[in-house]
């Protein structure tokens, strides 16, 4: 007979203690599974290879039962990982917001959302998190990022004022006023300080993303638990203010070092640390909105059973995104090509150690002397001396014990070549092309093949930041109740401050990632683009082309036209916001006229009389400035005596427009 617990979904139980009973079992199963299935060992091996110098002390060590061997580490993996990470992240995150419709207001919001996301990227250092995620995904198969809204974060603003009261609860009067003249008393007030709130971001190693390890695909996972190491006193300040029992419970929790079954990636680093650390484990449980749990669930707890917060999921979806270049079929984990390279690196370390052991042990010269001769070590150590020997006994000869079999060196070369093939980080990419590969075209082909190998990870990276960008906008759209400042960067590269609230993002539907031109990823590609621009007259100053050759910076070459295009875009934004931009004789009329016409390239825009009149007036001013339209003189047509000429209808005749 089944019990009530067996028939009720664990995440749907009202009592959080009952939820934690089952969830803690899942957490223990997760870490036990990492050990039993060898994944924890694999991650530790990857960590050891990447940070080998921490274990060797950066020197050649003695190893073996009798310490008779030398350990020489020639570590390729960190260099390969660095090139992989650079290859994936060489293009900066570039967001593109899409509106729910194409009206003028929605387009203005979309442009503002793009600049807001760019400001968020700079202020929250999302580029650094992008690098960290790419590094984790390459080295450990996957990486995670969590985007949550912190109501207690952000700057302080004044939300209003409240009267000051004394100990008896009476309002304190600042000015008694004048009752005889009908002037009421003025109470003493104090400002109400609140915080705007802000988005918070955290990148996670896969060991800190707990999931149901029994499933066969990450898509089947409906809940995730993220583990953080947090100072217990920060937790007390945030959750236990005025709750003495909760404070005592948090203080009684074991530190991260007293971890039991829940293991660490690098446990040896903690062996010499006392278990009195102020840091404890805090778990953040998310459950998707499903048929079994329509409102989802979000539960924060410390240790195993100290509940800090519990309630329905306050986001549209679980606010996390995952980067993984490949999947390990039949599991909930990602896969990395570096896993296959780890054993090759291990073999290389052993082979180099064999060579080093032979050279170190036998590198000091050995001299053979005939038995019965009069030579001694003292004779041979004198340097430039004359040695007489008996031809019947023979002369002294050097004995070469340092000769290493050539097969070892050939095998080392084969393994290093295999390492490059498996990871697709060639010697060309690492700056050391072989002598047989010297032509520019061949180098470009090899680089293109290397880059195409990481399309899966690059696609996953774009997907991650599309989700992150969408979560950022939706959080602001949900929680930005009051006007808040944002330091934006204009199209001309100059910063400016803009205030906004959630209504300014109400029509943004989703965020996408702009894919950069692959040709601009290499110097040769930039040079080819610059040559085409030079031949077609787009580069007016030859010094700009010389600057590209010297620096590889394509931006400075196309900056003049780029800034003019930015000006046109900003003018379009002003027109959509109801402002009339100023025209100048220096404007490139053909470009301005063409791009301003886009404002009226939809029926919705043409049905907006304000936008239509503003766009036509601005285009007309450009045409007048260029001399395409000659404006009429002001006033009516005058006769010889200076009086207005009256038409048949009795109205003055006006000057005709040319």
pLDDT tens sequence across 481-509 = 888 988 887 655 678 888 899 999 988 88
Q: Please give the pLDDT value at position 354.
A: 84
Higher pLDDT, 427 or 620: 620
Kindly report which listed range (91-100, 142-151, 267-276, 337-346) carries the lowest average pLDDT score. 267-276
Q: Please give the pLDDT value at position 72.
A: 85
The one-character DSSP state at 401 is -
Read off the pLDDT of each residue in 406-425 and give the average, rounded to a whole number.
83
Say how far apart CA 90 and CA 356 lie, in whole Å. 38
CB 265 within 8 A of CB 208: no
Summarize pLDDT for 229-270 with one digit per residue, the tens: 999 999 999 999 889 999 999 999 988 765 555 777 765 444
Residue in the block written with tokens 């300014």: 504
Pair of tokens at residue 351: 């082979």
Q: 616 pLDDT band (50/70/90 cuts)?
A: confident
| 652 pLDDT above the threshold of 90 | no
Say how far apart CA 590 and CA 240 lie, in whole Å. 65
Q: Please give the pLDDT value at position 1.
A: 36
Q: Does the reported pTM lie above 0.85?
A: no
Read off the pLDDT of each residue in 216-235 and give the average, rounded to a whole number.
95
Q: 565 pLDDT band (50/70/90 cuts)?
A: confident
Higher pLDDT, 33 or 450: 33
CB 337 within 8 A of CB 56: no
CB 349 within 8 A of CB 74: yes
Say how far apart CA 106 and CA 112 lie, in whole Å. 10
Higher pLDDT, 554 or 392: 392
| 443 pLDDT above the threshold of 50 | no
Say how far apart CA 617 and CA 19 lie, in whole Å. 65
Residue in the block written with tokens 């082909």: 445
Kindly report which listed range (170-179, 378-387, 509-518, 571-580) carries the lowest average pLDDT score. 378-387
Pair of tokens at residue 305: 């059973």
Q: Please give the pLDDT value at position 569.
A: 80
Q: State the greatest distance between any 2 C-alpha atoms of the chain, in Å, as a whole number.
A: 144
> In the predicted model, what is the mean pLDDT of the chain?
80
| 60 pLDDT above the threshold of 80 | yes
Q: 2 pLDDT band (50/70/90 cuts)?
A: very low
Read off the pLDDT of each residue in 16-40 and give the average, rounded to a whole number.
93
Residue 161's DSSP bridge partners are 191
Say how far apart CA 141 and CA 345 lie, in whole Å. 18
Pair of tokens at residue 14: 């009202």
Comparing CA positions, the residue from 551, 477, 535 lying closest to residue 507 is 477
């Amino acid at each position: 007979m089944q019990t009530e617990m067996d028939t009720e979904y664990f995440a749907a139980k009202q009592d959080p203690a009952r939820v934690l009973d089952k969830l803690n079992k899942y957490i223990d199963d997760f870490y036990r599974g990492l050990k039993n299935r060898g994944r924890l060992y694999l991650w530790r091996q990857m960590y050891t290879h990447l940070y080998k110098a921490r274990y060797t002390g950066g020197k050649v060590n003695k190893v073996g039962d009798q310490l008779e061997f030398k350990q020489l580490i020639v570590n390729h993996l960190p260099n390969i990982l660095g090139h992989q990470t650079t290859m994936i992240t060489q293009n900066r995150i570039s967001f593109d917001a899409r509106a729910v419709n194409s009206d003028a207001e929605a387009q203005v919001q979309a442009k503002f959302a793009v600049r807001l996301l760019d400001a968020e990227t700079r202020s929250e250092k999302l580029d650094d998190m992008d690098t960290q995620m790419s590094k984790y995904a390459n080295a450990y198969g996957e990486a995670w990022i969590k985007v949550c809204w912190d109501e207690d974060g952000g700057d302080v603003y004044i939300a209003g004022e409240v009267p000051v009261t004394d100990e008896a609860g009476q309002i304190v009067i600042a000015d008694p006023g004048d009752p005889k003249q009908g002037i009421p008393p003025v109470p003493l007030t104090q400002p109400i300080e609140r915080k705007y709130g802000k988005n918070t971001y955290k990148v996670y190693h896969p060991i800190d993303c707990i999931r149901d390890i029994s499933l066969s695909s990450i898509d089947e996972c409906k809940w995730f638990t993220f583990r953080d190491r947090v100072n217990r006193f920060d937790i007390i300040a945030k959750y236990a203010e005025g709750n003495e029992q909760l404070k005592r419970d948090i203080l009684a929790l074991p530190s991260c070092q007293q971890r039991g079954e829940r293991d660490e990636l690098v446990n040896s680093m903690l062996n010499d640390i006392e278990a009195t650390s102020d840091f404890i484990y805090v778990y953040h449980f998310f459950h998707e909105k499903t048929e079994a749990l329509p409102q989802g669930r979000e539960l924060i707890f410390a240790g195993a059973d100290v509940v800090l917060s519990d309630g329905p999921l306050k986001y549209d979806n679980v606010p996390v995104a995952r980067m993984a270049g490949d999947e390990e079929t039949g599991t909930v984990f990602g896969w990395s090509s570096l896993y296959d390279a780890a054993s090759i690196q291990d073999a290389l370390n052993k082979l180099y150690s064999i060579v080093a052991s032979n050279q170190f042990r036998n590198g000091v010269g050995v001299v053979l002397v005939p038995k019965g001769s009069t030579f001694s070590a003292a004779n041979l150590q004198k340097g430039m001396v004359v040695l007489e020997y008996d031809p019947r006994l023979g002369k002294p000869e050097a004995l070469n014990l340092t000769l290493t079999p050539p097969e070892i060196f050939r095998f080392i070369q084969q393994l290093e070549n295999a390492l490059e093939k498996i990871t697709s980080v060639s010697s060309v990419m690492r700056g050391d092309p072989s002598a047989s590969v010297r032509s520019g075209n061949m180098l470009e082909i090899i680089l293109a093949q290397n880059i195409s190998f990481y399309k899966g990870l690059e696609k996953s990276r774009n997907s991650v930041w599309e989700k992150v960008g969408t979560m950022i906008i939706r959080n602001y759209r949900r929680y930005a109740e009051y006007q808040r400042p944002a330091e934006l960067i204009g199209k001309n590269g100059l910063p400016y401050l803009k205030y906004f609230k959630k209504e300014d993002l109400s029509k943004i539907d989703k965020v996408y990632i702009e894919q950069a031109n692959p040709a601009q990823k290499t110097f040769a590609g930039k040079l080819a683009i610059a040559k085409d621009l030079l031949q077609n007259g787009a580069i007016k100053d030859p010094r700009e082309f010389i600057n590209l050759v010297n620096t590889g910076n394509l931006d400075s070459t196309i900056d003049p036209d780029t800034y003019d295009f930015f000006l046109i875009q900003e003018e379009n934004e002003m027109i959509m916001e109801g402002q009339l931009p100023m025209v100048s004789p220096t404007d490139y009329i053909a470009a301005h006229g063409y791009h301003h016409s886009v404002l009226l390239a939809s029926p919705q825009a043409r049905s907006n009389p304000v936008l239509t009149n503003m766009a036509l007036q601005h285009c007309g001013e450009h045409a007048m400035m260029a001399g395409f339209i000659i404006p009429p003189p002001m006033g009516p047509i005058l006769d010889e005596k200076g009086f207005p000429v009256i038409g048949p209808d009795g109205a003055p005749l006006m000057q005709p427009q040319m």
